[in-house]
C-alpha cells in the first residue's frame, strides 16, 4: 500500500477498520452497520436472518449460544497467543469445525440457501481472520474444513460479483 493510499485510508477510517463502505457520502467502517444499511436501502430481497438462524451468527461471534461456537473469540485468542502449545489453535479449529459441520447440515449459508445479514456480517470477519492469521502466524484454514473454505470463497465472490464500485484496489471498501 503506498503512503498516499494509506493516508487516504486513515483519513476515512482513523481507526484503520475494514471493510469500509461509502453510503450517501458517509463512510461506514463496520460490517454489521454496512449490512444493516444495505438492508435499509435495498430491502428486496430481504437480508433479515430468521430468529432461529440468527443464533448461529451470534455464537460465531462469541456471544452465548447453546451449542458453544465462539469463532471470533478463539481467533483473537490464537492471534494474541505467544505459546504454540497453549491450545488456542486447537480451540479455533474446534470452533471452525463446528461451523463447518453446521454448514454441512444446513448450508450453504446460515439461512440455508438464502444469504442473510448474518452471512454478510460473518463473512468479512472470517476473511479478515484468515488474512491476519496468514500474516502473523503463517496459518490458513485447514483443508479438513472444505465447506468453511467454500463458504468463505462464495462470500468473497458474491461481494466481487455485486460490483459495488470498489475503491483503492488495496483497500477493502465499497461505494453504494
Which CATH number belongs to the domain containing residue 151 in this structure? Answer: 1.20.1050.10
Total count of domains within the chain? 1
> Taking a C-beta distance cutoff of 8 angstroms, is the pair 77, 91 a contact?
yes
In a domain, 89, yes or no: yes
pLDDT at 72 (0 to 100): 86
26 lies in a domain?
no
68 is a domain residue? yes
pTM: 0.68
**Structural domain of residue 59, as residue ranges?**
51-162
The string of pLDDT tens digits covering residues 128-169 is 899 899 999 999 999 999 999 999 988 777 765 444 443 444
Q: Is there a domain that residue 44 lies in?
A: no
Q: What is the pLDDT of residue 69?
A: 57
Q: Tell me if 27 is assigned to some domain.
A: no
3-state secondary structure 37-84: HHHHHCCCCCCCCCHHHHHHHHHHCCCCCCCCCCHHHHHHHHHHCCCC
Is residue 71, in this structure, part of any structural domain at all? yes
SS3 129: helix
- Cell numbers given for 84: 504454540
Mean of pLDDT values over 73-84: 94
Residue 38 maps to a domain: no
Terminal C-alpha separation, the chain: 23
Q: Report yes or no on 21 lying in a domain.
A: no
Do the Cβ atoms of 9 and 16 come closer than 8 Å? yes
Q: How far is CA 75 from CA 83, 95, 142, in A?
A: 14, 9, 14
Q: Under a CB-based contact definition with an 8 Å cutoff, are residues 37 and 28 in contact?
A: yes
Task: Quote the mean pLDDT of the chain.
Answer: 78
Is the predicted pLDDT of residue 29 greater than 90, yes or no? no
Backbone angles phi, psi at 58, to 5 degrees: -60, -45
Amino acid at each position: 500500500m503506498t503512503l498516499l493510499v494509506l493516508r487516504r485510508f486513515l483519513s476515512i477510517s482513523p481507526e484503520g477498520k475494514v471493510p469500509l463502505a461509502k453510503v450517501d457520502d458517509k463512510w461506514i467502517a463496520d460490517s454489521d452497520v454496512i449490512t444493516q444499511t444495505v438492508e435499509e436501502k435495498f430491502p428486496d430481497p430481504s437480508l433479515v436472518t430468521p430468529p432461529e438462524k440468527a443464533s448461529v451468527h451470534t455464537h460465531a461471534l462469541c456471544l452465548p449460544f447453546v451449542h458453544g461456537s465462539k469463532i471470533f473469540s478463539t481467533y483473537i485468542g490464537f492471534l494474541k497467543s505467544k505459546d504454540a502449545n497453549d491450545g488456542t489453535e486447537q480451540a479455533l479449529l474446534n470452533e471452525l469445525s463446528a461451523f463447518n459441520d453446521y454448514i454441512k447440515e444446513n448450508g450453504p449459508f446460515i439461512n440455508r440457501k438464502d444469504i442473510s445479514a448474518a452471512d454478510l456480517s460473518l463473512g468479512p470477519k472470517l476473511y479478515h481472520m484468515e488474512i491476519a492469521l496468514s500474516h502473523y502466524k503463517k496459518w490458513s484454514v485447514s483443508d479438513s474444513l472444505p465447506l468453511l473454505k467454500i463458504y468463505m470463497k462464495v462470500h468473497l465472490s458474491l461481494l466481487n460479483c455485486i460490483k459495488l464500485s470498489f475503491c483503492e484496489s488495496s483497500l477493502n471498501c465499497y461505494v453504494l
